[in-house]
Amino acid sequence: MLLEEMQERLKKAKITTQHQLWQINPIYCLLDFDKDDFCKLIDAIGLDKWLDKSDHWKRLDRAEQELSAKERYIKAKARLADLETEKAELEEIVNGYKAI
């Protein structure tokens, strides 16, 4: 979300710098709420409380990225094993073919 968009949506709290926006961006991405709903949360809780926890949000975002990467790795590794099994089966069929 752009700074101008957030400033328009916020009623009580005001984000004045890009730095503040980037401090809360990780939790915005993690929560995956609509822009208006996220801004309502900021207004309800208060911008300062969100900013105070910015290191926590960054850590959670990194953990989510690492978990997603690990899950993709495990899935890809299993798929490669399946492909190798399928390849061996296909090679057996091809090598075992005898013309009539």
**pLDDT tens-place string over residues 28-75:** 999 999 999 999 999 999 999 999 999 999 999 999 999 999 999 999
Residue 100 has pLDDT above 80, yes or no: no
Query: Which residues form the domain of 28?
Result: 3-95
- Calculate the CA dihedral of residues 4, 10, 12, 13 and round it to 10 degrees: -60
46 three-state secondary structure: coil
Report yes or no on 67 lying in a domain. Answer: yes
Average pLDDT value over all residues in the chain: 92
Residue 99 has pLDDT above 80, yes or no: no
| Phi-psi sector, 98: left (phi>0), alpha (psi -120 to 50), beta | beta
Query: Mean pLDDT over residues 8-24, rounded?
Result: 90
- How far is the C-alpha of 61 from the C-alpha of 30, rounded, in Å? 7
Report yes or no on 84 lying in a domain. Answer: yes
pLDDT of residue 69: 98
- How far is the C-alpha of 71 from the C-alpha of 13, rounded, in Å? 38
Report yes or no on 100 lying in a domain. Answer: no
- % the chain with pLDDT above 70: 99
Residue 64's nearest CA partner among 11, 100, 27 is 27
Domain count, the chain: 1
Report yes or no on 8 lying in a domain. Answer: yes
Find all residues with CB under 8 Å of 64, minimum gap 6, and list them: 30
- % the chain with pLDDT above 90: 76
